[in-house]
Amino acid sequence: MERIHLKHQKAARIIRRVSTILSNGGLPKTGQYSSWAWGDDGYYQKGYPLGGGQRFIDNGDGTVIDLVTGLMWVKDPGQISGFYDRMYWYDALNACENLEYAGWDDWRLPNINELMSIVDHEKYSPAFDTMFFVPPYDLYTPYWSSTTNYSWMDGAWAMYPYDGYKTSWGKPWDMCFVRPVRAGQS
């Protein structure tokens, strides 16, 4: 039996993933499996499957790749010096921009859509897969996003790890947790 070169094996896996993503809606499922009414998300089950090895890959170096979005996330920001505790929004932007972690130096603060993409709406406390994302020590303090709230320029969108709720917090005076992200596929 002829062995296929690693580069070609990887290309074949990527093609299979893209085909699966396209055939399952291109966006991640919300995680809702219970149907409360005809026509709700639990009834249709649209989107790319959540959970397990179907969507996320743990790289074993403190990072996780999301096969749907192609983003690479820090699995446990609390293990990185300076990221254990909450920080102001401007400090969060700078900390991510200056982060060198797992051999990468192009980390950044995720926008609100990227941050919300890891939420599993069937879960709470925390609202994401703990096999791939280590929750912060306080689930009632949100994670910052890089997205400014258009109607309140001193506010930025944030996501509560407890239930995935999206809210705005004040950039100059509120402190939130940070989960760095990078483009992932290079």
Q: Is the pLDDT of residue 18 over 60?
A: no
Residue 73, in any domain of the structure: yes
CB 117 within 8 A of CB 129: no
Q: Is the peptide bond before 28 cis (omega within 30 degrees of 0)?
A: no
Is the pLDDT score of 14 beyond 70? no
Measured CA to CA in angstroms, residue 43 lies from 29, 36, 37, 59 at distances of 12, 8, 7, 33
pLDDT beyond 70 at 13: no
Residue 17 has pLDDT above 60, yes or no: no
pLDDT at 21 (0 to 100): 45
Which pLDDT belongs to residue 121? 81
What ranges in 4-163 are assigned the alpha helix state H? 6-23, 41-44, 52-55, 89-97, 112-116
For the chain, the domain total comes to 1
pLDDT tens figures, 83-102: 999 999 999 999 999 999 99
- pTM of the full structure: 0.75
**pLDDT of the residue at 5:** 54
Assess if residue 169 is contained within a domain: yes
Does residue 1 lie within any of the structural domains?
Answer: no
- For residue 172 the two structure tokens come to 């100059």
The residue-averaged pLDDT of 50-64 equals: 79
Confidence band, pLDDT 50/70/90 cuts, at residue 58:
very high
The confidence band for 23, taking pLDDT boundaries of 50, 70 and 90, is very low
Residue 44: is its pLDDT beyond 80? no
pLDDT tens sequence across 134-149? 999 999 999 999 999 9
Asked whether residue 128 is domain-assigned, the answer is yes
Give the per-residue pLDDT at 24.
Answer: 47
Residue 138 lies in a domain: yes
Residue 111 lies in a domain: yes
Longest dimension (CA), the chain: 63
Can you give the pLDDT at residue 45?
63
Residue 182 pLDDT class (50, 70, 90 cuts): very high
Interval 61-88 mean pLDDT: 94
Q: Which domain holds residue 18?
A: 6-182
